[in-house]
Amino acid sequence: MVYTLITGACKGIGKAIAENCAARGLNLLLVSNDSACLPSVCEAIRGKGVKCEGLVLDLTEPTAPATLQRWMLENNFEVNMLVNNVGIGKGGTFASMEMADMQYMMKLNNNVLVEVTYRLLPELKKHQKSYILNLSSLEATLPLPYKAVYTATKNFVYAFSLAIAEELKFSNISVSVVCPGPVLTNAEGLKRMTAHGGRSKILMMYPAQVAEIALEGLFRGKRVIVPGFLNALFFKIGSILPVNVKMSLLEKLFRVYKTA
Ligand SMILES: NC(=O)c1ccc[n+]([C@@H]2O[C@H](COP(=O)([O-])OP(=O)(O)OC[C@H]3O[C@@H](n4cnc5c(N)ncnc54)[C@H](OP(=O)(O)O)[C@@H]3O)[C@@H](O)[C@H]2O)c1
């Protein structure tokens, strides 16, 4: 039995990707640290007629990627698609952030993604066709003042994804990176969007929309997927503006994150 593995699949974009995969008939392995919601998410997915198994695991635990790999091996779960979705974002002025929060963010958004990918590569190589989908952000190439560390972790994911996509170009594994703009998922995101006012509403998308665009792009072999016309436009403009102009503009637009 072949599965798609999704990290951080209990809520938000990860859950929407799981639901979209199930609608496409894909069997699922879902990982989350949320023991309260994972069983019910898995049950709802099974109700769509596909197999679904869940693993409750805090992926930031030092041995978590190894535990995940052992769980797959012991249960003979074959995986031909990996969705590295799990990630968190905290903001504020760099000096006011807690060091522990920034280290946690770098660990979850980057270290975990690299180690899970590394450990799953041999399994992904076994199949005729395999896929890796990594969750970055529009902020990957638009470095946001007042979200310095988050933005940097997403830049890491972006660069890492492009580099391994090139390394694996002639293999059976297709790698895509998705760079969503604001997506209405958790309370933290809602707070940021409220702080922005009407401006963020024109860019805001729902998790189900992002999931559909991301999976379509992945299966078409697109390396970089930017959901939403306006987000894609900003992504392009950001790549051609002189750095000083871009950074000063971003500082003005995102000054609200100093406090919100
Ligand atoms: N939302 C946006 O606007 C946006 C925009 C661009 C990119 N992204 C990226 O998209 C991805 C998903 O974001 P989201 O907004 O959908 O997140 P979310 O709503 O916070 O959901 C994240 C999921 O991951 C789980 N999780 C968190 N920490 C974990 C850990 N240590 N171990 C295992 N599971 C853990 C969460 O469970 P708990 O809730 O129990 O912790 C939750 O189920 C992230 O990589 C994010 O950076 C989001």
pLDDT in tens, 98-131: 999 999 999 999 999 999 999 999 999 999 999 9
Q: How far is the CA of 7 from the centre of ligand 1 (A)?
A: 9
Q: How far is the CA of 107 from the centre of ligand 1 (A)?
A: 13
User: 127, 172 in Cβ contact below 8 A?
Assistant: yes
Q: Quick one: what percent of the chain has pLDDT higher than 90?
A: 89
Q: Quick one: what percent of the chain has pLDDT higher than 70?
A: 98
pLDDT in tens, 52-67: 999 999 999 999 999 9
Which residues are within 8 A (CB) of 96 and not within 5 positions of it... i.e. 6 or more apart?
Answer: none
93: amino acid identity, one letter:
T
Average confidence (pLDDT) over 242-255: 93
Average pLDDT, the chain: 95
The CA-to-CA distance between both ends of the chain, in Å, stands at 46
Distance of CA 25 to the CA centre of its chain: 21
Q: Give the residue numbers spanning the domain of 62.
A: 2-258
256 pLDDT exceeds 90? no
Neighbours of 67 (CB within 10 A): 16
Average confidence (pLDDT) over 41-48: 98
pLDDT for 207: 97
Overall domain count for the chain: 1
Average confidence (pLDDT) over 230-250: 94
What is the Cα–Cα distance from 249 to 223, expressed in whole angstroms? 28
What is the Cα–Cα distance from 149 to 173, expressed in whole angstroms? 30
2 pLDDT exceeds 70? yes
CATH of the domain at 34: 3.40.50.720
- The token duo for 98 is 């807690």
Average confidence (pLDDT) over 235-251: 94
- The token duo for 161 is 């994804």
Q: How far is the CA of 60 from the centre of ligand 1 (A)?
A: 13
**5, 32, 141, 210: which to mutate for ligand 1, most atoms within 8 A of CB?**
32
Neighbours of 8 (CB within 10 A): 25
Nearest atom, ligand 1, residue 192 CA: 3
192 pLDDT exceeds 90? no
260 pLDDT exceeds 70? no
To the question of pTM greater than 0.85 for the whole model, the response is: yes
